[in-house]
Amino acid sequence: MCQGFKAAGIASGLKKNGMLDLGLIVSDTPAAVAGVFTRNRVQAAPVLLCKKRIQSGTSRAVIANSGNANCCTGDQGMADAVRMARLAAGALGIAEDQVLPASTGVIGQPLAVGKIEAALPALAAALSPDGLDDFARAIMTTDTRPKMISRQGHVNGKTFTVTAVAKGAGMICPNMATMLCFVMTDIAAEPGTLQPMLAASVDKSFNRITIDGDTSTNDTVLILANGMSGIFLEAGEGISVFQEVLDAVLIELAKMVVKDGEGATKLVEIVVKAAASEEDAKKIVFTVANSNLVKTALFGQDANWGRIFAAAGRSGAVFNPEAVDIWFDDVRIVKDGLWAGSEAEQKATRILQKPEFRIIIDLKNGDGQYSGWTCDFSIDYVKINADYRS
């Protein structure tokens, strides 16, 4: 955990199963803030409120709940988001506009703010520098495990820390971020410096993952920088070092999200190289990564390269099919658009038995390249989502 931050998570009764469902992160001092949010046209009340509040450039706290998305809830939903933040501010003794709300869970149901109000005294009392694990569990929905990571960097002999926590296992094809991610750092920075750096890191991490091709209505990534390390982020070495650490933290969290995808058994990196452009490479990566036929073949450990080739062909990217090579890690199963033979397929099948591997598609068509991460589709994915509200 970074200097000057505390966190907590408790059960407020929002979840029917009695699990942790309400979390709080607080900075001891006002922190510079930046955020990236869902591009879904349907946006939850807390997303809209957060987008407005971060324009001030500073924040002290984040309050987040699971079990209810507070989305498609009309004027009452916005009033509930405001009240949720106001209650947290009162419990903490800080200004209301310094609290950022976030929610995740079922869409379309009113948020039981009364339960949040009743739980807030205990939640505030539980705040601790060691409370991030409880917070991480409090924001989980279909996640099977909490997702946290902390890394350090060094500038001019001083050390700074970046700590982040995320949740996400389903409705993941972000087009900005995962469902919820909160980044804390003890470096000092202007909000105008943080915003493009956060956006760049999100593009390298959460914008490159997909579990099921669905973009959430509640996607929120926030970064709070309270400056307690004594390092001020400015041009030169400090910027590059901080960007490198931030990128590493968010990429690792993004992989954690895919590994914990609903029913997932495999983490697969899709790499497209030598495309006519980066945009063409990106089209192929996400068409392959979101293909149900590809994802079910991955679950079945079936080296069905034809599904990969067909997905690439319908992506809209321009390439010569007779020049394409396809690899599973270091095994080439397609050479110049043709099957490489049964021996290569047997080796590729063994690759597919691993929990993590790469699919590399070489178009031999230019300098464009792109990569992203996906998972397989298992029988459990259907079961989890068929029973989600019942």
Q: Catalytic pick from 178, 185, 215, 220? A: 178
Q: Indicate the residue type of 111.
A: L
Residue 343 CA from chain centroid, whole number: 38
pLDDT for the residue 215: 64
Q: Which of 66, 81, 63 is nearest to 24 (CA)?
A: 63
Dist. CA 258–CA 249, nearest whole Å: 15
Residue 267 exposure: Cα atoms within 13 Å on the Cβ side: 15
Q: How many CB atoms lie within 10 A of CB 320?
A: 11
Sign of the CA dihedral running 181, 107, 50, 62: negative
Residue 123 exposure: Cα atoms within 13 Å on the Cβ side: 35
DSSP E strands in the chain: the ranges are 5-10, 22-37, 58-66, 99-104, 147-155, 158-167, 180-185, 220-225, 267-275, 325-328, 331-335, 338-339, 356-362, 368-375
Domains, the chain, with CATH or none: 5-259 (3.60.70.12), 267-386 (3.10.20.340)
- Quick check: is 178 catalytic? yes
Residue 59 CA from chain centroid, whole number: 21
Residue 70 zone, left/alpha/beta (φ > 0; ψ -120 to 50; rest): left
Residue 212: burial class (beta carbons within 10 Å; 0-12, 13-18, 19+)? buried
pLDDT for the residue 175: 55
- Residue pLDDT, tens place only, 191-246: 999 999 999 999 999 989 887 666 667 889 999 999 999 999 876 778 999 999 99
Whole-model pTM: value is: 0.89
- The DSSP string of 283-302 is HHHHHHHT-HHHHHHHHTT-
User: Which residue ranges of the chain lie beneath pLDDT 70?
Assistant: 169-178, 212-216, 235, 380-390
Q: Measure CA of the first residue to CA of the last residue in the chain; give whole Å.
A: 36
Place of tokens 């149900």: 292
Residues 6+ apart with CB under 8 A from 143: 167, 168, 169, 260
